[in-house]
A and B are shown apart, each in its own frame.
Chain A
Amino acid sequence: MGPASKRNKKKKPSFRKLLKTSNLKLENKLKNRQFKQQSSAKKQRKEQRKLRQAITDVSHKTLKPLERYKKKPEGEEEEDEEEFLESLPVDMMDDDDLEQIRAMAKKASFLTRDISSCTPVHAKKRKSEQPVKKYEKMPRKMQQEEEKELIHLLPIKDKSGLIPQSMEKPVVPEAEEEEEPVDQDELNQEEEPEIVPLLTPQEQLELRAQKLTEKKLHMASLSSAVLADPHVNIKKLKELRAMLMETDPCVAVTVRKLVMVSLLEVFKDIVPSYRIRPLTEEEKAAKVKKETLQLREFEEGLVSQYKFYLEDLEQTVKDWKQKKQKRSQAVSLQSYKGLAEVAIRCICDLLVALPHFNFHNNIVVMVVPLMRDSVKKVSEMCCGAVSKLLKQDKLGQASLAVVKVISGMVKGRNYNVKPEVLNCLLCLRIKEVEMRKDTEDTAPKKKFMSFKEKRTNLSRMQRKWKKAEEKLQKELLEAEASESKDKKIKLHTETLNIVFLIYFRILKKAQKSILLPSVLEGLARFAHLINLEFFDDLLSVLYGLITSGDLTYRESLHCILTSFHILSGQGDVLNIDPLKFYNHLYKTLLTLHAGGRNEDTAIVLQCLDVMLTKRRKQVTLQRAQGFLKRLSTLSLHLLPDSSVGILAANRALMHTFPKCDILLDNEMQGSGVYLPELDVPEYCNPQNTALWELHLLKRHYHPMVRKFAAHLMKGAPSEGSGALSMELSRRTPVQLFEDYSVKDMSFNPPVAGPPSKKKVFPSN
């Protein structure tokens, strides 16, 4: 991260310099800029330090296993946030709370004492869910924070303190959300049948239902007020957020969850589409219009509320991870997991929804370590969110941040992470990068001539013209709202460099780790973007891997594919004989069969494409024939979709190497007999055999296989009676393989229904 950012900082002024005309002006400006940049750099550094610290923090703190918390799976988390708001799944929430109530009910004190004023019985016991003193119930964290916070919190506290069991509505609901009454009904319906073995269960439940309804109404009114006019009602956000500190033990979990989700939706709605930057001193000092002032106020409030919200979420997750019963004792330890899961879901949602907004880096730092969480649901959620972000990210900024943090984590955890984490990287949308680092330095120079050059090369008039032109161009550039391509490519380059750094590190230092398959898959995917200078080393490492024999056949297929991707791109300048790779693929082919993983055929087909069809000039006829024969044999033992793919590859092979047609004749060519079991395509004498297996394939149960077999039997003619139809001949082997997929029991081609009833086999 270091060198890259430094370079950026250096370059920026130089770029600007070129645009300016006067030296003096330039100097002044430069000074200003530098000053500004220094301050911003400081800030940035600070932020990054925080970031780094967060990484190490998390990596240190999140080690503890969480077996004790594998409590109950909750269906609730699977729902979408939208659903959450629209049809508040109170029933699930109730379960949580009910459980808590039950847990508390086991202790006699719960019933006998006044909840709000009782003293802790076993205050030292961590797990105890005893109601505690009032001051204990107050969030300590809040006191550490700004004073301002407290002021706004107090009224609520006061009220709850005064009337602990039934809260008064502080705000008259003006614009109630429509679903509220429905919820109430639902709630009541839910409550009635449930019987809790308590003294007055009915009353308890009713009380709770009443409280919940009030809270919900309150929440709804606050949220809708904010949504209705965010600029005016930004203060209400604070009030809403304060409800996160809900202390009433019987509704705390539900209310907190609901508040988290409501806040999430509110933020998603009111956050502007730009990043809010802090005001400079001058700007603060300058007089502005009333509207601007209001806007600034709004922005400031929004950012701070957002920040606190994020902090709360983070704190919730942390509490869960550290199994600490901090904060008020209102929430039992058992409910932490559910609470944390909701919090994580909110964070993940924000990660995907607001990549442009402030604190996105912090979110990334929060989410990435959770990707390797031992709780499967959490890790899946986070991995899914990151994959989605990488897929959606068009600017490249967010991807870069994510990749940086992942890289740090992989290294920090000593490669002990889940493969899913690395598989997320496969979602990166990187199509092109700058191949040479130095190009980026030269590029701008070409665009705008230096002053010196101008002076020597151009006449006065021309210079004037040029100046005007450049100015115009610059303005145009600024006017361009979208991020420029150059910038994007730059970001992509940096991202990919980090990705490769991760991959290479693993290849070098952790060859035995479970991450290897993901690495190989990733390398195969981005092979065309790998820098030339790594090729030699990489190829030797890959070859070493293949020959070591430790790999599964799938991994070795990835190895081969990666090598040939490298070789087929800019690698063709390298003079490497990939013979060993050919032999290895030839050998590996027979490990494919219908009983195994059918998806691997796609990799084989890709390999064949790069190895034989695209490198036709480097492939000997013997080798091609050897492959053709073995592939035909292989197609006897595969599922029909794979067979179709392989036969299509054979067709391509026959077209590329027309001399392969001797395999359709039954005449001896030269000496030797065909040795089917030999694993070297060159020496197995393929010229002395024929593709007899096509006759078996011609009797295959799948119509398409039959068709291709008959086609190949005739020597794969491109026209005439034996030719394939246009659509079929245009499809590539991989496409055909996908077309005729049998994965989900679809029938392609469809089976004709009985003539009377028009039913056709389910085909997708």
Chain B
Amino acid sequence: MLSGFDSHEEDALWPSHFNGNLASEHKDQLSALKSNDPDFYEFLQQNDQKLLNFDDSDSLEDEDEDEEERMYHRLPSQLEEADDDEEEEEESEKKDAKKSKEATKVTEAMIENWRAGLTKEPTAKLIRDITQAFKAAVATTKGDSEELCRYTISDSAVFNSLVLFCIKDMHAALSKMLKLKAPEQGQKKLILPSSSPRWQKNQIDIKMYVAGVVQLLSSLTQATVIAAVLRHANQMVPYYLCLPKQCRHLLKSLIKHWSTGEETVRVLAFLALNKICRHKQEIYLNSVLKQMYIAYVKNCKFTSPNTLPMINFMQRTLAEMYSLDTQVSYQHAFIYIRQLAIHLRNAINLKKKETYQSVYNWQYVHCLYLWCRVLSTIYPSEVLEPLLYPLCQVIIGCIKLVPISRYYPLRLHCVRAITLLSANTKTYVPALPFLLEILQREDFNKKPGRMSIKPINFAVILKLSKTNLQEKAYKDGLVEQLYDLILEYFHTQACSIGFPELALPTIVQLKAFLKECKVANYCKQMRQLLEKIQENCSYITGRRQKAAFGVADVTAVAAWEKQVAVEGTPLTKYYSQWKKLREKEIQLEISGKERMEDLNLPEIKRKKAEEKKANKKEFKGLFESDSDDDDDDLFKSKGKASYGDQKKPSSSKGKTPKKMLSTELKVVAEGDEDMVEDLELSDQD
């Protein structure tokens, strides 16, 4: 049930016992046991009722979980499940455990004691004990390397309750012990624990504990557990900030989770990363950005309907990270865009198939898209603006490298990136010629050679096969894509005073197309497009004719364009209607697609379940696979609805991703106050 990303991770302590589908397996085993060995079954019945009442639904209640714990995303119950599971092996394990008899064995009672102690008065000694126990617990995850610990954990139930206890109570206890002031409402600065007078004394214990958390984080495989530990790590960020070595380890582990985990884990990991980078920018930001970029590139090698949302998520969040410091971002962007340009230049000069491959791949395209997103997220920035020029040139050079029809999907991706860029940065980048060229070169009248059932999903392919080119689905899809992209591109320029001139070649081309084409379906679409464009043309022409200023008057033209944008043009109005319809269509398509995707069937089921749990809308942005800028509006409105009162009038940089994240977060973390606060902070910096 693990998502595709982390299935290959290092063998963890609890290999797959947490897995729900294995739970049912376990049930089968039990029933088999009943028939094979009735005596033992009876013994179990007497001694371990729970094991037999095993159920793979999440409804299992645990008696020692109180109300508060249940807020943790049903995690505790699952943990309990797990240790029930392990009891079977206990017998054999006990023998091993006896060897290290010198160390005290942690029991449930001890944990209860500690808990009581902490609620009363957390002393340094108590903390030390707990830390030692925690360290022992973590040491078991490491496998055979036996360290000298004061305690041993041989019982997985104890392990679970200890870990649970720690991630629940430890943060509060530590701050209480260090006598840290509770952060006031509205206060933006984190209170660093090193400011406490007791810090020096307890530093070693805290260091040990904090290192333990990182260790734990890297050895876990179950998503929900990771999420819980990540949440704890997020709380503990101030402590990490004071301990550079541990912090580096934490960052490494966070980046791994950010790039390979499942949705919730990714979001939480990103929040922690963001928090750390914001508070210790000068130290960590540079290396974190670099590592994140590398992780991003590594993980966008393959694109499928399932991975695309993840890639989009990484793009958005990485763009968010880059917006923290534009000076640093400029250096990164410069170097990496330069790298892209060099790859492209080699491909142009050498003209070999292998060098084409170094450009025409998903990583390259996703990198182009990433930088487009970064530059559009951080738009009004004097520092980053000079990079628009090389980036555009690389994208256009990439389109023109091998302009054959088999690479049309790649070209469409590039045009989409250009559209994103020109929509958000007020930069004019010619993209229409590349679309019109397709319309001109492709013979739509030709009868398709093959019929196909499956529509081609242009979002997740770069290159068409030769058989694809003959299919009807290809031409259908192509016309649809062209319609979408032309409309979207015109939408970005709809209010510009030069719109009629911009549209002229398109109008000429579309007219020629309508004259030639005999397929009614295509003609209908294109005629509609032509009408909308012409309508907008005449609107703009009429308005500008009445204007009292000349071409040279730059400020008047800017004001005029602003005015038009406020009033809206025929095209913008049509676009917003169309967008809504299109989004619905895409939603339907996605659900249909998932049904069809028989390769990863279990995975999809899980996702759907997740979706239901997580308020359905939560991962809309992640699932959105077709165009990415369109969901911004949606998140904008949602973000306002849920957090409208808390949000400060945000500075213009990075509006949408932040809002998006806050909504996501809300759903994910379910009322975790601390994180909401974090996001507000990000606006401030």
Please state if A666 and B548 are interface contacts (CB–CB under 8 Å): yes
A762 within 8 A of B: yes
A594 within 8 A of B: yes
What 0/1 readout, one digit per residue, does chain A (741-764) give for beta carbons within 8 Å of chain B?
Answer: 011111100011110110101100
A594 to B399: give the CA distance in the assembly, Å. Answer: 10
A654 within 8 A of B: no
A639 within 8 A of B: yes
A275 within 8 A of B: no
A638 to B386: give the CA distance in the assembly, Å. Answer: 21
A638 to B392: give the CA distance in the assembly, Å. Answer: 13
Question: Nearest chain-A residue to B551 (Cβ)?
Answer: A664
Query: Could you say which of B97-105, B227-235, B333-341 contacts chain A?
Result: B333-341
B165 within 8 A of A: no
Asked, given contacts A637-B430, A638-B430, A754-B331, whether A593 binds B437 with beta carbons under 8 Å apart, the answer is yes
Asked, given contacts A632-B501, A633-B501, A751-B386, whether A757 binds B400 with beta carbons under 8 Å apart, the answer is no
Within 8 A of A (CB), among B362-405: 386-390, 392-394, 396-397, 399-400, 403
Which of A699, A744, A752 is most buried by chain B, counting CB atoms within 10 A of its CB? A699
Kindly provide the distance from the CB of A643 to the nearest chain B CB, expressed in whole angstroms: 8
Please state if B349 and A744 are interface contacts (CB–CB under 8 Å): yes
Please state if A692 and B335 are interface contacts (CB–CB under 8 Å): no
Query: Could you say which of B149-157, B268-276, B491-499 contacts chain A?
Result: B491-499
A752 to B383: give the CA distance in the assembly, Å. Answer: 11
Query: Could you say which of B22-30, B61-69, B503-511, B592-600 contacts chain A?
Result: B503-511
B517 within 8 A of A: no
Kindly provide the distance from the CB of B501 to the nearest chain A CB, expressed in whole angstroms: 4
A676 to B430: give the CA distance in the assembly, Å. Answer: 19
Which A residues are CB-close (under 8 A) to B389? 701-703, 747, 751
Which A residues are CB-close (under 8 A) to B507? 677
Contact of B552 among A590, A664, A743, A745 (CB under 8 A): A664
Please state if A636 and B430 are interface contacts (CB–CB under 8 Å): yes
Which of B334, B344, B551 is most buried by chain A, counting CB atoms within 10 A of its CB? B551
Please state if A701 and B392 are interface contacts (CB–CB under 8 Å): yes
B570 within 8 A of A: no
B453 within 8 A of A: no
Question: Nearest chain-A residue to B401 (Cβ)?
Answer: A745
What 0/1 readout, one digit per residue, does chain A (657-675) give for beta carbons within 8 Å of chain B?
Answer: 0000001111010000000
A485 to B464: give the CA distance in the assembly, Å. Answer: 61
Would you give 19 A-B contacts (Cβ < 8 Å), ordered by A? A590-B504, A594-B434, A595-B436, A595-B437, A596-B433, A637-B505, A666-B550, A692-B497, A692-B544, A693-B501, A695-B557, A697-B428, A698-B554, A699-B426, A702-B393, A715-B552, A742-B396, A744-B345, A754-B334
Task: Known pairs A701-B388, A751-B386; list 6 more (Cβ under 8 Å).
Answer: A590-B508, A637-B505, A664-B552, A668-B545, A692-B501, A754-B330
A377 within 8 A of B: no
B206 within 8 A of A: no
Please state if B338 and A676 are interface contacts (CB–CB under 8 Å): no
B342 within 8 A of A: yes
Asked, given contacts A595-B433, A636-B430, A751-B390, whether A761 binds B496 with beta carbons under 8 Å apart, the answer is no
A733 within 8 A of B: no
Query: For chain B, what secondary structure do more than half of its interface residues adopt (helix, strand, loop), or is it mixed?
Result: helix
Question: Nearest chain-A residue to B388 (Cβ)?
Answer: A701
Going nearest first, the 5 A-B pairs with the smallest beta carbon separation are A595-B437, A593-B433, A754-B331, A745-B345, A693-B501
A691 within 8 A of B: yes
B302 within 8 A of A: no
Contact of A637 among B392, B433, B554 (CB under 8 A): B433
What 0/1 readout, one digit per residue, does chain B (294-332) give for beta carbons within 8 Å of chain A?
Answer: 000000000000000000000000000000000000110
What 0/1 readout, one digit per residue, does chain A (720-755) give for beta carbons within 8 Å of chain B?
Answer: 000000000000000000000011111100011110
Which B residues are CB-close (under 8 A) to A633? 501, 504-505
Contact of B436 among A593, A693, A747, A754 (CB under 8 A): A593
What 0/1 readout, one digit per residue, does chain B (179-217) give for beta carbons within 8 Å of chain A?
Answer: 000000000000000000000000000000000000000
Chain B residues close to A by CB (< 8 Å) = 330-331, 334-335, 338, 341-342, 344-345, 348-349, 386-390, 392-394, 396-397, 399-400, 403, 426-430, 432-434, 436-437, 493, 496-498, 500-502, 504-505, 507-508, 544-545, 547-552, 554, 557
Contact of A713 among B390, B400, B430, B552 (CB under 8 A): B552
A640 within 8 A of B: yes
Please state if B331 and A665 are interface contacts (CB–CB under 8 Å): no
A330 to B98: give the CA distance in the assembly, Å. Answer: 88
Asked, given contacts A595-B433, A745-B344, whether A666 binds B427 with beta carbons under 8 Å apart, the answer is no
Kindly provide the distance from the CB of A608 to the nearest chain B CB, expressed in whole angstroms: 19
A663 to B437: give the CA distance in the assembly, Å. Answer: 30
Question: Nearest chain-A residue to B537 (Cβ)?
Answer: A676
A752 to B335: give the CA distance in the assembly, Å. Answer: 11
Kindly provide the distance from the CB of B497 to the nearest chain A CB, expressed in whole angstroms: 5
Which A residues are CB-close (under 8 A) to B429? 700-701
A696 within 8 A of B: yes
Question: Nearest chain-A residue to B507 (Cβ)?
Answer: A677
Please state if A701 and B548 are interface contacts (CB–CB under 8 Å): no
Which B residues are CB-close (under 8 A) to A690? 544, 550-551
A636 to B386: give the CA distance in the assembly, Å. Answer: 20
A310 to B331: give the CA distance in the assembly, Å. Answer: 63
Kindly provide the distance from the CB of A749 to the nearest chain B CB, expressed in whole angstroms: 9
A700 to B430: give the CA distance in the assembly, Å. Answer: 8
Which B residues are CB-close (under 8 A) to A49? none
Question: Nearest chain-A residue to B346 (Cβ)?
Answer: A745
Please state if A700 and B550 are interface contacts (CB–CB under 8 Å): no
Which B residues are CB-close (under 8 A) to A126? none
Please state if A700 and B344 are interface contacts (CB–CB under 8 Å): no
Please state if A747 and B334 are interface contacts (CB–CB under 8 Å): no
Please state if A593 and B505 are interface contacts (CB–CB under 8 Å): yes
Which A residues are CB-close (under 8 A) to B504? 590, 633, 676-677
Which A residues are CB-close (under 8 A) to B501? 632-633, 636, 676, 692-693, 696
A714 within 8 A of B: yes
Please state if A666 and B349 are interface contacts (CB–CB under 8 Å): no
Which B residues are CB-close (under 8 A) to A639? 396, 430
A220 within 8 A of B: no
